[in-house]
Structures are given as C-alpha cells and as structure tokens.
Chain A
Amino acid sequence: MKRRAFLKLSGMSAATALLAGCRSRNEKLIPYLVPPDEGITPGRANYYASACRSCAAGCGILVRVSEGRAKKIEGNPSHPVNRGKLCARGQALVQELYHPDRIVTPLKRSGARGSGNFTKISWDEAMRILTAQLKGVQVRGRDRLALVTPPFNGSLAELTAEFMKGMGSPHHVTFDLQSPEWLAAAYRENYGSAALPYYDLSETRYVLSFGADFLEHHLSPVHYGYAFGQMRQGRDTVRGHFAYVGGRLSLTAASADRWVPARPGTEGAVALAMARVILQEKLHDEGSLSANGIQAGSLLKGLAKYDVPRVAEFAGIQPQTIVELAKDFATTTPALAMVGEKVAFQSNGRASFRAVHLLNVLVGGLNRKGGIYPAAGPSTSATGGYAGLATLVERMRAGQIEAALIHGNPFHSIPVATGFQEALAKVPFVASFSSILNDSAMAADLILPDSSTLESWGDVVPVSGTREPVVGLMQPVVAPLHDTRQFGDVLLATAAALNGQAGAGQQKTYLDYLKGSLKKRGAADSPAQWNELLRQGVLLGKRGGESAQYRWSGGGGTPDVEPPRFVGDQKQFPLFLETYPSIKTNGGAALPWLQQLPDTMTTVVWDSWVEINPKTAAQLGIAIGDLVEVASPQGSVRLPAIIYPGIRPDLVAIPLGQGQFAGGRYAKGVGVNPLVLLQAAAEAGATHPAWQATRVSVRRISPEGNLVMHGHPQGSYRSELVGV
C-alpha cells in the first residue's frame, strides 16, 4: 500500500488538524482545480494526537506531519499530565522513527552469538522459526519459556500477561532499575494503597524532597516541571520554598532554595529527627495524627533515639539545619515531603520511605490541597520485578529455560551482578523485539523488529501526574517506514499459530485487542466516537471518590532506620557511589539530539563522566577531564572526571544510560555503563537489592580523558558578570 493511501485510511478522520491557534480549519477548504495527492495540502501540516511511552510519565503529544513525514513533536495541550509541554526525550521521538540504523526486516543470526552477523529473512520465515521454537518448548515443559520486557501498562500489560498465562509459564519479568513495583509496594505498606503519589506541587508552599528528582526522572517530570513553575511564580503573593536532602546536588536540587547534603543512607534518620523536633515543639497537626491512628506521645517516645545532635553527626550535617528544616516544614502550610529512588535503593530504603512519609502525616499533608494524594496510575500492577528476575536467572543458569523473548534492552539495563547476561548465554533460543540493534538484540538468535512509537497503535497510562484516570492513545502518524511489526501483533499471531493454546487468540490484530481493552475501560464504541478519541488522543475518566485517599497504615509503630550497609570495605573503597538515570536511559543514548544536548549540570556532550568534589579531587590529584578508574568490589570502569562542587566529598556519581557496545552509530562505544560496578547485595528476604549501596575507589590514570564540555570550565564561576 502506498504511504499516502495508508495515511488516508488510518488517520484521515483524525487529521482535523489542531493547527496553531487551536482553531478548526474544516470550514475553510480551498478548492483546487487539480486536487493534490490524496488530501495532502502541500505546505500545510497536519497535527496528529498520540502518546509518548519513552518513560512512565506517559505524556500526550501532537505530531506535526507534513507531506506524510513526521516533523516535530509537541505536547498535547488537552492532555492533563503535560498540558502542551514536553521534555527533550519526547521531542526526540522523531529521531527514533527516522534513525538510520533501525532494523528494517526480521533478522536471523548467521554468525556466533554477539558477533552481530545476521541474515535478513521474511516475516513468514521469522514467524515460522518463532512458532516452531515455542511449540518445542510447549512439548518439553511449558515453564521453559521466559518473557523479559520493560514494565508495560495498559493493554500491552494485559496482552503480555494473557500470552504468558496461555503459554503456561510464570517467567514474565518486567524489570526496571528504578522499580516502580517496589515503589508501589512501599506505598501499599505505608498507606494501604499501591497508588503512587500525586504531589500537589503547584498549590504547596514548602516542598521537601529526600532524593526525589522530580524535575528529571521521578514519576512525571514534565507535569512536576509545570507544577514547579506554578509553585514558584504562578501565584501572586506566594513563592513556594523548596529544600532538598541528598548527597548530590542533582539537576532538581539545583533549583532548590536549600540543599542539605546528608550522607547517603541517612536521609530517613534525618526525617525522623525532624519528626521528633516537630513533636517536641508541638508543631504537628493533631487532627491528622488521630485521623491516621497515631498517638503523638507514644510516637515521640519511640523516636527517642533520633535526637538532633546524634543524627546530625550521623548524617554529616549541622544540627541547626535539621531544626530549621523541621520548623520551616511544620509551620509553612501547606507543605509536602517526597522521597525518591535514591533513598529507596539504600539497604534501609524501606524504613527511610516510611520515615519521610511520616512527616507528611505529622503536618497533615495527606489528601489535602498542596499535599499529596494517591495518583490515578495504571491498575495492572507490574509482575516479576527483582524477585522474578532472580528466579529467572537461576532457572536460566540451570538450563531450565529454552526460549527467551526479550523486549527493550535488559542486556544493558540490568546490572551484571545479577548474572542475567551470563545466564542468557545458556538459553538455546533468544528472540528480540528491538527496533534497533542494541546490546540485547546482539545477544539474540532471531530479531522481530518492533515498530517505532510514531508507527504504532497503543495506549499509555500515566503512572503519576494526574488524579483522574487518564489513558493516552497512541496511533500511527506515518506509514511504517520499514518492514516491521508491532510487538503486540507478533504476540497475537504467535498465540494464534500455536492453535489458540496460548490464549489471547480471539483478536486478529493488536488494534482490535486495543479497542477491546479500551472498551472495558469506558472508551467509545461507535466509529465516530473512536475517531473523536483519536483526534483528542486522550481518554479522561472520573476521579475516584473517598476510596482514592491515602490513610496511614500500621498505626503508631515508629519506623526504625538502621544505619545503612554498603558493599565494599571502607579502607579499600573509601567513596560512596551514586548512579542516576539520565536523559540517555530508556534508549535516549541512541538519539543524536540527546547525545549532543549538553548535560545541564556538567555541560558534557557525547560521553559519560564521574562527578567528584573539588576537595576529594585535589587529594587524589585529579583535574577536570582526567581519565580515572572507578573500581568497586564488583568491577571497574575508566571514564573522565568532572570536578563537581555540588557533591559530598565522600561521594562520587556516574550517570546511567551510556556504555553500549552496540545500539546504532550514535550510542555505540560512547561512555561507560556504571552498572558493572554494582553488586546485587540482596540479602535474605530482601525484595530488592540496594543499588545505591556500593563503595568505590577512584584512581587517576592519565590526563587524556577526552572529555568535551559545551561550557567553559572557568566561565561557569563568573555569574557576577551577567548578574544572575
């Protein structure tokens, strides 16, 4: 089918063009003597609504399509999560579509695994190979199949779950280093509801963040970016205050009024010391405490060991800071406290989480304007998680997994210490659904390339960033560029080819499946309503009533934040290591715009780096741009050093996302992957490993770090010249 014919069929009704100025142009059709090709007006762009699935935030987008080609991604103004705004990652979706190194047809491995030698095959042959393999697995043992995907939500989560249920295998692992399922479990433990929080940032007057980088990657960065602007300058007489507790001055923390560089793993103790001050000074909200079943007196007694001088020394900060924070937080109403992944993935993360949220209860910040509410996230909870991954690795090692289906890039994004990569080599058949030849696809025997976001049908349920249930609808805005098929379609076809044994066999295409799934969630039935839904790109639901409220569970039992434990001997590995997600995670490293975008804090382009405090660097004889070796008990990496004034002297930090050995011309060989440094310190009964609890040593190697920065290192200290 011609691209233009396809466009006309699939989306013409949706083309009613939200043009600049948001006016409908329908009434102003210009008659042509010779009509241009199939409804396309040269020089006039169409705007199609779709959704972004590059991170869990799930923003709505409008794609400007000119002469059948996607040109520019803009935020969808009618989407409640991002309100017409968009981040750099979302803008770069168009490069995902037109990436010069996309996989254009199904591929079959022709050399040794990892050699990158593949032969092009047809979809018929690829499906034959896939179904033959899966049939064999079904005969030999149904639990010998594994599916590894990123945490999907919406209909794709339903479909993968149904598929695996039909296949009779429990090994469906949805792993993400920032484990949303861990966060959900933590919220269930504290509030009896697995809903992730919705921070009412725009209405609050005091934000206290414990390692939650809500302007970068925590939950819904675009939404909270918008809310942050409102909090600062959106109200006439109020300027919201923002304090940040954490060892590294992140991009988010850079916008804070006050930065409290507490030692890693002590954030929870700081929160409890604050709670003690609030209770002692009787600044707490009595009504909120009794409504949540907490008795102030007994709580204060339970917090006896968190006295300010002791905790201040433990955290390496001034006692006065804790007292000031506590008083400011309790006396500025409304206030909210948030806690992020950085704190969560310490060995005492669970208790720290509870400690911070206790602060919200103390000042009555639950379910209140300017406080925190439960968000309307996806109802389908992610499966697998870290526990599932550990089980799967064990089974793979034992040779009990015969076929592994892989979506995304787990080969690169799962720490080596879990043994996943080495165990995957033992699996006789690995199929990848990657659209680019990334590290995971390199380890596969068969590649069934998925279509890109802008060529796909789908639904995207935002994980946070809204209190009303929202479904973003993804539609193909251009005809498929290459001979690719959507992951959902391949799963359905596979299930059908296995004689319906694999369930999910009623619908022929993923589009039908999607429509069915949306109907269940209250979407439109008739073609007219469906077209309207495509035009809007977003399906809005009604807010849940009283049930959608947080309530403290577990009563007055005080959280006990133990001292954090770290991997690595303190003498040999004197520094703490922090790894943090960057714009290059989730496939961003493959996109040249994002590689070229200077990291705002360091202005580094096209590289990885390690951030070191100036004092520490001087002690170690390291200058900016030097090549250094960062070693942990697990492994080592060599990368250039950045002298970073905003980090504790006993902490170093490396961004995630780079360091692929494949992944297209723009990602290949750029930077390093710090995940090789992390040790899976999963203890007995632990549901997640403490990814942030690794110690490292840093050693200077040579002055040739080959570091390129956009900004001038000296210029970055001369703010008085421009008066900012």
Chain B
Amino acid sequence: MKKLTSPYKWGMIIDLDRCTGCGACVVACQAENNVAICEKKEISEGRNMHWLRIERFWVGDYPDVRVRFLPVLCQHCHDAPCEPVCPVYASYHNPDGLNGQVYNRCVGTRYCGNNCPYAVRVFNFYDHTWPKPLDNQLSPDVTVRPRGVMEKCTFCVQRIRRAKEDARGAGRMIADGEVQPACAQTCPSEAIVFGNMADPQSRVARLSRSPRGFRLLEHLGTHPSIVYLKGGGREHV
C-alpha cells in the first residue's frame, strides 16, 4: 500500500494589513469553483453559497471609529471538527493537509457544517441554475454540486492536482508560487499568499513566522492551515 505521507502541507497567509476589502477574491473564487448564484431571498435565509466571505468589524464610535476586514474561508484545520462527525467519510483529510469534501459521498446530514466553528461550509438547500448561455462559464474542472450536498473551499484543489501532474511529468517538486488558488492569484494587494508550509524556505512558511501571525479561533485547538497577520500597526506616525 502506498504510504500516505506527502512532501506538501498546503497553507495560506492572509495579511490583514494589506487587505483592503475590495472583494476581488470573493468573485474570483465564485468564478473558479462554479459557486452558485444566489437570489436575494436565499441570502436573506442565511444560505449564501460563497466559499469565501469578507467579515467586516466596526471598532469604536464616531469619530474614532475603525474598520477591520477579515477574509474567512475554510481554514483546512489539521484537527478539523468537521471530519469526525461525517457518517459517510465525505469530509476527510488528505495527505497534503487539505480538508477535502467528496461530493458524491455526501448525504447531506449537515453535521460538518454544524460542527465548523468558522461557518465556512455551505449547503445546497436549492437546485441552482445557470440560465443559458450563462452555463457556458462553468469550469469543466470542477463538479457542479447538486441540491442536498455540502460544499466548501478546496484551496482550488483542481489547480493543485494540475500542478502536481505537471511537476511529476517533469520529475520535480512544485515550485514555490507555481500553484495559487483563484483568490490569491487575483488579490490586488497580495494580502493572500499560498504555498507549501512543509518547505521552510517557501514564502508562506517565512511569513508564517512573522510576529504578527495568529490563527483564527486558535484556542479551539483546530490547528488551521491559514495564518493571519495582524493589521493596524501604529495608530499615528
């Protein structure tokens, strides 16, 4: 049997000091991953299908009011609360450290979504349609999820797979920066950086050692793969 270890541990850095809250990542993710278009009614029920959202926090009162942005996506936890509760192993951990979701195993119990402290798993409560010819935009690399299936950020696993095939064909490892999820690729201010945490020289590994680093709700012990870098800095010069 093939040994289930991998030279890759995919991880992400989100620098909150660079994030401007522009929303490019949200739409890039939706475009790359065939994320459904949700009507107003659906979102009013709290059933938005976005895999990546930008949380916005107000701090203080006028006129000393500040705003903090926090892009939240699947944290790809190494001790993921969503995984042990799935009765059909649809939610599983792959050797690269990705928290995978097998759509055709999912039976829609929604236990995983219930157990996720980051609220990043979204459930297809409805059959979503892409009115013709809008369906032409659907990416052939990514499954279109039917009703009754849980879905979430995959770190654009289809891109990772492709890069792995390319690298294997050339008999080498994936180079740093060679594979990027859609959100990191489009981020204008380069707030999002993606790479291999197992390589201590990679950009993500170096950034993850920043003193500004923290993990989201890290006291829960989920050991996320995403490291946030604190923003703010000096309030005045």
Chain A residues with CB under 8 Å of chain B are: 20-21, 43, 66-67, 69-75, 82, 84-88, 91-92, 94-95, 97-100, 206, 215-216, 221-222, 225-226, 228-229, 232-233, 239, 241, 249, 251-252, 254-255, 257-259, 261, 317, 324, 328, 332, 481, 583, 592-594, 596-598, 600-601, 603, 605-607, 613-615, 645-649, 665, 708, 710-711, 715-719, 722-724
Is A605 touching B43 in the complex (CB atoms < 8 A)? yes
Which one, B20, B50, B61, B140, contacts A225 given CB within 8 A?
B20
Q: Say if the beta carbon of B223 comes within 8 Å of chain A.
A: no
CB neighbours (8 Å) of A649 from chain B are 62
CB neighbours (8 Å) of A66 from chain B are 139-140
Is B23 touching A600 in the complex (CB atoms < 8 A)? yes
Stretch touching chain A among B2-10, B82-90, B105-113, B227-235 = B227-235
- How far, in whole Å, are A476 and B40 apart by their CA atoms in the complex? 34
Is A95 touching B134 in the complex (CB atoms < 8 A)? yes
Determine how close the nearest CB of chain B comes to the CB of A192; give it in whole angstroms.
Answer: 32
- Render B60-101 as a binary contact track against A, CB cut-off 8 A, 1 for contact: 111101111110000000000000000000000000000000
CB neighbours (8 Å) of B159 from chain A are 20
Is A254 touching B44 in the complex (CB atoms < 8 A)? no
Given A86-B28, A88-B27, A592-B37, also A229-B188 (CB < 8 A): yes
Determine how close the nearest CB of chain A comes to the CB of B24; give it in whole angstroms.
Answer: 5
Is B186 touching A252 in the complex (CB atoms < 8 A)? no
Is A86 touching B24 in the complex (CB atoms < 8 A)? yes
Determine how close the nearest CB of chain A comes to the CB of B146; give it in whole angstroms.
Answer: 20
Is A228 touching B27 in the complex (CB atoms < 8 A)? no
Is A708 touching B44 in the complex (CB atoms < 8 A)? yes
Is B63 touching A596 in the complex (CB atoms < 8 A)? no
Which one, A75, A100, A249, A481, contacts B67 given CB within 8 A?
A249
Which one, B38, B134, B166, contacts A98 given CB within 8 A?
B134
CB neighbours (8 Å) of B16 from chain A are 724
Which one, A21, A74, A324, A724, contacts B185 given CB within 8 A?
A74
Which one, B17, B54, B61, contacts A645 given CB within 8 A?
B61
Q: Say if the beta carbon of B151 comes within 8 Å of chain A.
A: no
- Render B158-183 as a binary contact track against A, CB cut-off 8 A, 1 for contact: 01001100100000000100110010
Chain B's closest residue to A42 (CB) is: B140
Q: Say if the beta carbon of B102 comes within 8 Å of chain A.
A: no
Given A614-B62, A724-B57, also A597-B26 (CB < 8 A): yes
Chain A's closest residue to B118 (CB) is: A722
Which one, B32, B66, B138, B237, contacts A332 given CB within 8 A?
B237
The residue among B21, B31, B43, B60 with the most chain A CB atoms within 10 A of its own CB is: B31
Q: Say if the beta carbon of B18 comes within 8 Å of chain A.
A: yes
Which one, B28, B50, B66, contacts A91 given CB within 8 A?
B28
Chain B's closest residue to A64 (CB) is: B139
Is B58 touching A716 in the complex (CB atoms < 8 A)? yes
Given A100-B131, A226-B188, A724-B230, also A600-B56 (CB < 8 A): yes
Is B20 touching A324 in the complex (CB atoms < 8 A)? no
Determine how close the nearest CB of chain B comes to the CB of A184; give it in whole angstroms.
Answer: 25
Is B188 touching A85 in the complex (CB atoms < 8 A)? yes
Is B48 touching A70 in the complex (CB atoms < 8 A)? no
Which one, A88, A94, A646, contacts B137 given CB within 8 A?
A94
Chain A's closest residue to B138 (CB) is: A71
- How far, in whole Å, are A648 and B62 apart by their CA atoms in the complex? 8
A-B contacts besides A215-B22, A724-B228, 14 pairs, CB < 8 Å: A20-B162, A21-B175, A71-B138, A72-B139, A85-B190, A100-B132, A226-B190, A257-B234, A481-B133, A593-B27, A596-B37, A603-B56, A645-B60, A711-B55
Give the 6 A-B CB pairs with smallest separation, nearest first.
Answer: A225-B188, A229-B189, A719-B57, A254-B67, A600-B21, A88-B27
Determine how close the nearest CB of chain A comes to the CB of B110; give it in whole angstroms.
Answer: 19
Is B62 touching A710 in the complex (CB atoms < 8 A)? no
Determine how close the nearest CB of chain A comes to the CB of B12; give it in whole angstroms.
Answer: 16
Is B22 touching A88 in the complex (CB atoms < 8 A)? yes
Given A645-B65, A723-B214, A724-B231, also A251-B20 (CB < 8 A): yes
Is A719 touching B62 in the complex (CB atoms < 8 A)? no
Is A91 touching B31 in the complex (CB atoms < 8 A)? yes
- How far, in whole Å, are A647 and B48 apart by their CA atoms in the complex? 28
Given A71-B137, A226-B190, A239-B234, also A597-B27 (CB < 8 A): yes
Which one, A73, A99, A648, contacts B31 given CB within 8 A?
A73
Is B27 touching A605 in the complex (CB atoms < 8 A)? no
Q: Say if the beta carbon of B53 comes within 8 Å of chain A.
A: yes
Which one, B21, B53, B70, B137, contacts A95 given CB within 8 A?
B137
The residue among B17, B53, B237 with the most chain A CB atoms within 10 A of its own CB is: B237
Is B237 touching A206 in the complex (CB atoms < 8 A)? yes
Is A606 touching B43 in the complex (CB atoms < 8 A)? yes
- How far, in whole Å, are A715 and B191 apart by their CA atoms in the complex? 23
Q: Say if the beta carbon of B124 comes within 8 Å of chain A.
A: no
Q: Say if the beta carbon of B104 comes within 8 Å of chain A.
A: no
The residue among B39, B186, B214, B228 with the most chain A CB atoms within 10 A of its own CB is: B186
Chain B's closest residue to A649 (CB) is: B62
Determine how close the nearest CB of chain B comes to the CB of A484; give it in whole angstroms.
Answer: 13
CB neighbours (8 Å) of B136 from chain A are 69-70, 98
- Render B195-237 as a binary contact track against A, CB cut-off 8 A, 1 for contact: 0000000000000000000101100000000001111011111
- How far, in whole Å, are A73 and B27 apart by their CA atoms in the complex? 11
Is B63 touching A259 in the complex (CB atoms < 8 A)? yes
Which one, A84, A601, A606, contacts B56 given CB within 8 A?
A601
Determine how close the nearest CB of chain A comes to the CB of B140; give it in whole angstroms.
Answer: 6
Is A708 touching B140 in the complex (CB atoms < 8 A)? no
Which one, B15, B23, B131, B230, contacts A88 given CB within 8 A?
B23
